[in-house]
Structure 1
Amino acid sequence: MTVPVRPDPAKLSRAERAVGAVVRGGTRIPGLRRFLLWTPVARPGFWFATGVAWLWGRLLLGRYRHAHGVRYFEGMPTWAFGRGGTTIGAIYLTSTNTAPSVLEHEAVHVAQWRRYGLAFLPLYIAAGSPALTNRFEVEAGLEKGGYVRVRKPRSGDAPGTSA
């Protein structure tokens, strides 16, 4: 009789631990990741998250707007969202962080929510909190999201050289 070898949890990626590779007694549940990311499963999660965010924005008396392909509530209390703003489903919640570049960044997050549905929550958390290494923030554009500043060349710098 052979005993199944349990995978080393340290060798599993965060995403595998969060979604798609639920380990029970060393056995992987085949197809779980594909099922959770399947459009008929993911899309209702996206709609549910959108409805919750819309309700949250209305209850906290945010002003509903639409620009650069993003629906958002501005004027929200700062405790009602993370950092400069948070996208949940198709809704971006913020106080005043509505620059066009930020809204373009948030539009990518809306597309991510649409693709992953509610699985986006554990996937985003598993990707890690430092934005510079979070694949979802990198995909959305760190500069547009305000995570890094664009270095402007000094007047004496020649193109292609560094100081």
Structure 2
Amino acid sequence: MADSRPTPAASPTARAGIALGALGRSLGGPAFEAITAPPIARAGAALATHAARLWGRVLGGEERREGELHVITGLPQWAFGRGGTTVGATYLTRASDSPDVLEHEDVHRQQWERYGLWFIPMYFAAGAEGTKNRFEIEAGLEKGGYLPKDGSARRERRRSTGSEAVRAGERR
């Protein structure tokens, strides 16, 4: 039976994020620089960090510090997206806290610091498909668990593309 849940792009939050991301791109130049200026971005990231830490504590998570990243584990699966979510400088997860994942999530922390609260619509606007989302690519797809660490997905893709080309040539 097909999954009837709406795709992230169909949710009202995602639609709003995409619209705000498009607005941010259209503003460009001085307007975008003003809303992502370091003092404003840092204040937004700090607000997001405190809200996420509160969320994690309310849900009974265990908090520890890994460098500049607050890591909260032991949360229910519904409390975050995918294997975990970074909000500000806080990473929320059930148990996905390997060194590679934390390195990936620390890049998201840096993105939050760079863009502040504007990171939310920019992330949604970058797309729900992790392997095509520019923020996930910057954070490292393999370390984030989007691709196998050995690069086998890339080899497999090349192999299947090549065999499809051969089959297409045979049909001519």
Q: 1: distance between equivalents of 2:55 and 2:19? A: 29
Cα distance in 2 for residues equivalent to 1:58 and 1:98: 17
Structure 1 alignment gaps of length 5 or more: 1-12, 23-28, 154-161
Residue pair 2:36, 2:118 contacting (<8 A) in 1 also: yes
| Cα distance in 1 for residues equivalent to 2:21 and 2:58 | 36
* Structure with greater proportional helix content: 2
Name which one, 1 or 2, has greater alpha-carbon Rg: 1
Structure possessing the higher relative contact order (Cα contacts under 8 Å, 6 or more residues apart): 2
So what's the TM-score if we normalise by structure 2? Answer: 0.72
State the superposition RMSD in angstroms: 2.4
For the structure 1 residues 147 and 68, does the alpha-carbon distance in structure 2 shift closer, same or farther, using more than 3 Å as the test?
farther
CA deviations over 1:116-144 (Å, ceiling 9, x no partner): 00000010000001111101000000000
Alignment of 1:73-92 (within 5 A): 73-92=72-91
Deviation string, structure 1 residues 60-115 (Cα, Å, up to 9, x no partner)? 01000123552110000000000000000000000000011000000000000011
Query: How many aligned residue pairs are there?
Result: 137
Q: Residues 127 and 152 of structure 1: is their aligned pair in 2 closer, same or farther, counting only changes over 3 Å?
A: closer
Is the aligned partner of 1:42 residue 2:41?
yes
Distance 2:37 2:151 in 1: 43
1:70 match:
69
Alpha-carbon distance between aligned partners in 2 of 1:46 and 1:152, rounded to the nearest angstrom: 33
Shift of the 16–95 alpha-carbon distance from structure 1 to 2, 3 Å rule, reads closer
Deviations 1:23-44 (A, max 9, x none): xxxxxx8622111111121111
1:68–1:103 CA contact under 8 A, matched in 2: no
Structure 2 stretches lacking a partner, 5+ long? 1-17, 153-158, 160-172
Counterpart for residue 156 of structure 2? none
Mapped to 1, the partners of 2:62 and 2:146 lie a distance apart of 25
Q: Which SS does the other structure have where 2:26 is aligned?
A: coil
Given that residues 130 and 146 in structure 2 are in contact (C-alpha distance below 8 angstroms), is that contact kept between their aligned partners in structure 1?
Answer: yes
